[in-house]
Amino acid sequence: MRIHSYLPKGSFYGYLGPNGAGKSTTINMLCTLARPTSGTARVSGFDVTRERDDVRRHIGLVFQDPTLDGYLTAEQNLRFGHIDAIVPRPELKAYVARLLRLFSSNGD
């Protein structure tokens, strides 16, 4: 069976269903956190298996539960959050520094 689902650019989508229906598995596959066992999926035109970095550059993801580790610094939490999958390595240090300045507690 082939199912096509297209969402207009800039739209939001809610994914609802009973426990065990495969919602988390599907989201994990679309976010490249899990590999599909069959079939294909594309996000922003990119294949979730073959073009993972491109998919990750085109999505936003908000976790249900907090994912910050209180034992890590803000910089370590950013790096642990796999921001390096979104930002090219040569730009990573400057990008993290810019985020830290942007979200510093004193507003600088």
Per-residue pLDDT tens over the stretch 8-35: 777 777 778 899 988 889 888 988 889 9
Same domain, 44 and 8: yes
Same domain, 41 and 9: yes
Same domain, 21 and 39: yes
- Is 74 in the same domain as 102? yes
Q: Are residues 54 and 74 in the same domain?
A: no
Domain, as residue range, for 75: 63-108
Q: pLDDT at residue 47 above 90?
A: yes
Same domain, 74 and 40: no
Q: Look at the chain and report how many structural domains it folds into.
A: 2
At CB < 8 A and 24+ separation, what contacts does 88-96 make?
none
Average pLDDT score over residue span 31-55: 90
Q: Do 31 and 58 belong together in one domain? A: yes
What does the pLDDT read at residue 49?
94
| CA 28 vs CA 48, 49, 90: distances in Å | 10, 12, 27
This prediction has a pTM of 0.55
Is residue 46's pLDDT more than 90?
Answer: yes
For the cut 80, the answer to whether the pLDDT of residue 86 exceeds it is: no
Contact assessment for residue 52 and residue 58, using Cβ atoms and an 8 Å cutoff: no
- The DSSP string of the chain is --------TT--------TTSSHHHHHHHHTTSS--SSS--EETTEETTT-HHHHHHT-----SS----TTS-HHHHHHHTTGGGTS-HHHHHHHHHHHHHHT-TT--
Residue 60 one-letter amino acid: G
Judgement on whether residues 57 and 72 belong to the same structural domain of the protein? no
